[in-house]
């Protein structure tokens, strides 16, 4: 959710309209069994789960426009309509299906994709999926199938024409290899006497629609599907980016595009896949107690700090290990020690004025920085970093963009410290500390202003506070103003800068925290 929210806010930073959809996938045998274990009906069980995720999105400052639940009536209608079209086009047929089925993954696996596993705590011998480690059970049943094999070459042609469709690159290669090795037709229903919790197959109450065909339709549901002929793109389809975990790549990168091709709908423009968060180097699991409570983390560190940490350390290529000490170190060393300290030193200096420096230096900054002190910082950092951040975010890589942003802050800090403006203030000109000091203060303030604008997708509250402290007008907080000298009307704080902890951007962590 955080990665997707960053990408949405980035588009808004560029002045574009952006729509973010998240939600809960609520049907399937896994949910049915979990509800039975909890002793309640599936719907109220899902109601409770959906509220938890809605609350989590709110607390994490996720600016989602839609929260889809696959139990919504409009979603059910869209799924039934899609089934009807697939059937009419001849892509659905009935057949007996046998194979290893994982309730956890809601998927069948061939013999080559499972292995015998000895469970150490219990000594049980179980068959598991090699890909996910989930337990599987043998299943034999008659159900409906989707002609997935028909789309093998169409998918391969699409991958070849769009080599960067899946990011990171190594997962694109894995998907291509999987499709090249052959595609079997996909079982897309389950007997309703075994799976009662789901959308029934139209005109066949004995079968329930496969949860992944059901769930994947949520994206077009919230874009208004089925839509009128003149309203195809009104709701935002095709999506510019789907953000998914690495464990559901097969469903989103093979099944989903095949379904869309069969329905005659455009495919999403990109799939961004990410690794998992581990704890102590091991996969998080409620059964073993190895979990992190996100609500507790948000209450402890605040949403902005948690968003920054997740984006900074979260793995796209590989898994990342969650560590509270790392959050604290990141806060103390960078947020408080670098960004917060820089803001305080620049804006609260008693012997200079940010506004005065802008008025005296701003219009001539390009000429002033052509050579001499500050020229390298101006040319190599202030001028170049925004373009590097833009390139990374346009490539759906918020982590790389944040590294560039962090370097902007550190570079501004180094420049300010090396310039030592406090030693260069002219004593004989009250209110005008001298051109060298003005130049240093202006360039440092520009570093803070540009960083504040670019940090908005990551830390919306703290970035707003920083820009308010700098006095940046609300209409000038877009990416187009991330050029040095592009805004010369700031410098008068909109809020009280404060002293001690009150009004401080990143106050020191207390012992209780």
CATH number of the domain encompassing residue 361: 1.10.730.10
Q: Supply the pLDDT for residue 134.
A: 84
Tokens of 291: 């979990």
Helix (H), strand (E) at residue 117: strand 114-118
Q: How many CB atoms lie within 10 A of CB 285?
A: 10
Percent pLDDT > 90 in the chain is 74
d(CA 386, CA 8): 18
CA 371 to chain centre: 41
Is 214 inside a domain boundary?
A: no
Q: Which domain, by its residues, includes 426?
A: 299-481
How far are the Cα atoms of 121, 330, 435, 481 from residue 14, in angstroms, in the given order?
53, 28, 34, 10
How many structural domains is the chain composed of?
A: 1
pLDDT in tens for each of the 513 residues of the chain? 999 999 999 999 999 999 999 999 999 988 999 999 999 999 999 999 999 999 999 999 999 999 999 999 999 999 999 999 999 999 999 988 777 888 787 777 877 788 988 877 777 888 898 878 888 888 778 899 999 999 999 999 999 999 999 999 999 999 999 999 999 999 999 999 889 999 999 999 999 999 889 999 999 999 999 988 888 887 889 999 999 999 999 999 999 999 999 999 999 999 999 999 999 888 887 767 789 999 999 999 999 999 999 999 999 999 999 999 999 999 999 999 999 999 999 998 888 999 999 999 888 877 877 777 788 999 999 999 999 999 999 999 999 999 999 999 999 999 999 999 999 988 876 678 898 999 999 999 999 999 999 999 999 999 999 999 999 999 999 999 999 999 999 999 998 886 655 678 999 886 544
Is 376 inside a domain boundary?
A: yes
Helix, strand, coil % (nearest 5) of the chain? 50, 15, 35
Is 190 inside a domain boundary?
A: no
Is the dihedral angle over the CA atoms 302, 304, 306, 309 positive or is it negative? negative
How far are the Cα atoms of 52, 104, 263, 265 from residue 259, in angstroms, in the given order?
30, 22, 6, 9
Is 53 inside a domain boundary?
A: no
Nearest C-alpha neighbor of 82 from the set 207, 202, 196: 202
d(CA 21, CA 68): 7
Exposure string over 304-326, b if 16+ CB within 10 A, otherwise e: bbbbbbbbbbbbbeeebebeeee
Q: What is the β-pairing status of strands 125-129 and 242-245?
A: unpaired
Q: Supply the pLDDT for residue 290.
A: 85
d(CA 74, CA 66): 13
Whether the bond into 238 is cis, omega within 30 of 0: yes
- For Cα atoms 326, 329, 330, give the angle at the middle one, nearest 5 degrees: 85
pTM of the model: 0.90
Is 392 inside a domain boundary?
A: yes
d(CA 414, CA 447): 11
Whether the bond into 226 is cis, omega within 30 of 0: yes
Q: Supply the pLDDT for residue 501.
A: 53
Q: Supply the pLDDT for residue 513.
A: 43
Is 497 inside a domain boundary?
A: no
Nearest C-alpha neighbor of 239 from the set 255, 224, 258, 254: 224
First to last CA, the chain: 25
**What are 399-410's pLDDT values in tens digits?**
999 999 999 999
Is 360 inside a domain boundary?
A: yes
Angle of helix 303-313 versus helix 398-419 axis, rounded to 10: 110
Is 452 inside a domain boundary?
A: yes
């Amino acid at each position: 959710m955080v990665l997707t929210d960053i990408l949405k806010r980035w588009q808004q930073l560029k002045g574009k309209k952006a729509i973010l959809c998240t939600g809960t996938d609520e049907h399937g045998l896994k949910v049915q069994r979990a509800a039975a274990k909890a002793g309640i009906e599936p719907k109220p069980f899902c109601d409770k789960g959906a509220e938890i995720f809605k609350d989590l999105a709110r607390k994490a400052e996720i600016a989602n426009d839609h929260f889809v639940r696959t139990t919504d009536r409009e979603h059910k209608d869209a799924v039934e309509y899609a089934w009807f079209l697939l059937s009419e086009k001849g892509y659905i047929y009935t057949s007996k299906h046998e194979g290893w089925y994982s309730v956890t993954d809601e998927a069948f696996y061939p013999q080559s994709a499972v292995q015998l596993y000895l469970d150490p705590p219990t000594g049980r011998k179980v068959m598991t999926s090699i890909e996910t480690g989930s337990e599987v059970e043998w299943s034999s049943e008659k159900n409906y199938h989707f002609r997935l094999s028909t789309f093998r070459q169409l998918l391969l042609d699409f991958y070849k024409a769009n080599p960067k469709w899946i990011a990171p690159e190594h997962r694109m290669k894995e998907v291509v290899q999987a499709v090249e090795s052959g595609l079997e037709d996909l079982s897309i229903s389950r007997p309703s006497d075994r799976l009662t919790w789901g959308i029934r197959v139209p005109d066949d109450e004995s079968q329930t629609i496969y949860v992944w065909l059901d769930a994947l339709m949520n994206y077009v549901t919230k874009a208004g599907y089925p839509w009128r002929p003149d309203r195809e793109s009104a709701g935002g389809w095709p999506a510019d980016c789907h953000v998914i975990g690495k464990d559901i790549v097969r469903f989103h990168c093979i099944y989903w595009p095949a379904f869309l091709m069969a329905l005659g709908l455009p495919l999403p423009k990109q799939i961004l896949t990410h690794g998992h968060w581990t704890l102590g180097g091991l996969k998080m699991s409620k059964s073993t107690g190895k979990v992190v409570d996100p609500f507790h983390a948000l209450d402890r560190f605040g949403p902005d700090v948690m968003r920054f940490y997740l984006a900074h350390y979260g793995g796209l290529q590989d898994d990342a290990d969650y560590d509270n000490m790392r959050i604290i170190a990141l806060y103390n060393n960078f947020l408080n020690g670098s960004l917060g300290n820089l803001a305080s030193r620049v804006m609260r200096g008693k012997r200079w004025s940010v506004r005065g420096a802008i008025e005296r230096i701003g219009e001539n900054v390009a000429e002033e920085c052509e050579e001499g002190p500050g020229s390298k910082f101006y040319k190599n950092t202030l001028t170049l970093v925004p373009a590097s951040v833009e390139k990374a975010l346009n490539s759906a890589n918020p982590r790389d963009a944040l590294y560039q942003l962090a370097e902007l802050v550190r570079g501004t800090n180094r420049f300010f410290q090396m310039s030592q403006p406090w030693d260069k203030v002219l004593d004989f000109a009250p209110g005008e500390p001298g051109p060298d000091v003005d130049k240093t203060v202006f360039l440092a303030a520009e570093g803070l202003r540009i960083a504040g604008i670019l940090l908005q997708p990551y830390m919306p509250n703290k970035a707003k506070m920083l820009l308010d402290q700098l006095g940046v007008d609300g209409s000038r907080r877009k990416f187009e103003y991330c050029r040095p000298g592009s805004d010369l009307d700031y410098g008068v704080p909109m809020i009280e800068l404060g002293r001690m902890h009150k009004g401080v951007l990143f106050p020191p962590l207390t012992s209780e925290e």
